């Protein structure tokens, strides 16, 4: 990690290409029965350390004026947060103000935070087939509380897709953290 930085490789590139790429290999090995849950946990821990090294390089790059307030959460019953955290660091680096609600966050807590923070964007993450439906539940909760038109909703995570985003009424699906920053920038330009 430090060696790559010293070679002048951009921190964002290391984050998305090396870390995401590495975790994909971990996922494949888990599927093939070569890795078990403790291996996934150890990999997640290693990613945490790597992110601590990379984060200052990303946030330091951004002496930009704030582009809007972004709430991030992994939806209910889902504990996966590596992808969400990468997206968070990249958004912060791009000049968005970040409020990270963590993992396993029910729809009502996300809606509460939008109200409390006066957020402009909400980003939802899900890594399980069984939890992606809570993204839809969250959007329904926002509609119920008349908050939906106040925020742009971005979704991401391996089981999600542009079709799914359309189906649940999200504004955008992002396949990785680069796409998240690009989409948020585009939406912010229209707003501020």
Under the binding rule (CB under 6 A), the answer on residue 31 touching ligand B12 is yes
Region from 3-11, 30-38, 56-64, 136-144 binding ligand B12, contact rule CB under 6 A: 30-38
**Of residues 18, 50, 55, 158, which one binds ligand B12 by CB under 6 A?**
158
Under the binding rule (CB under 6 A), the answer on residue 52 touching ligand B12 is no
Q: Are 132 and 157 in contact (CB under 8 A)?
A: yes
Under the binding rule (CB under 6 A), the answer on residue 133 touching ligand B12 is no
Whole-number minimum distance, CB 77 to ligand B12, in Å? 6
Indicate the residue among 56 and 102 with the shorter CB distance to ligand B12: 102
User: Which residue from 47, 50, 90 is spatially nearest to 70, judged by alpha carbons?
Assistant: 90
Q: Are 58 and 98 in contact (CB under 8 A)?
A: no
Distance of CA 135 to the CA centre of its chain: 13
User: Which residue from 84, 87, 80, 122 is spatially nearest to 104, judged by alpha carbons?
Assistant: 80
For 23-145, list the strands marked E by DSSP: 69-74, 97-100, 121-125
Q: Where does this chain bind ligand B12 (CB under 6 A)?
A: 16, 19-20, 23-24, 26-27, 30-31, 37, 40-41, 43-44, 77-84, 86-87, 123-125, 127-129, 154-159, 174, 176-177, 180
């Amino acid at each position: 990690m430090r060696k790559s930085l010293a070679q002048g490789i951009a921190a964002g590139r290391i984050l998305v290409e090396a870390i995401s790429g590495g975790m994909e290999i971990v996922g494949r090995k888990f599927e093939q029965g070569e890795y078990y849950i403790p291996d996934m946990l150890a990999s997640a821990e290693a990613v945490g350390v790597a992110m601590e090294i990379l984060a200052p390089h990303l946030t330091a790059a951004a002496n930009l004026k704030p582009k809007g307030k972004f709430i991030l959460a992994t939806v209910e019953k889902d504990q996966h947060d590596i992808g969400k955290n990468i997206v968070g660091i990249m958004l912060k680096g791009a000049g968005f103000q970040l409020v990270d609600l963590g993992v396993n966050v029910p729809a009502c807590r996300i809606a509460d935070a939008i109200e409390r923070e006066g957020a402009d964007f909400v980003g939802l993450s899900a890594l399980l087939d069984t939890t992606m439906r809570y993204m839809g539940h969250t959007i329904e909760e926002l509609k119920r509380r008349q908050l939906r038109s106040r925020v742009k909703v971005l979704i991401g995570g391996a089981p999600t897709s542009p079709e799914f985003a359309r189906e649940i009424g999200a504004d955008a699906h992002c396949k990785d953290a680069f796409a998240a920053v690009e989409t948020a920038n585009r939406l912010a330009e229209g707003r501020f």
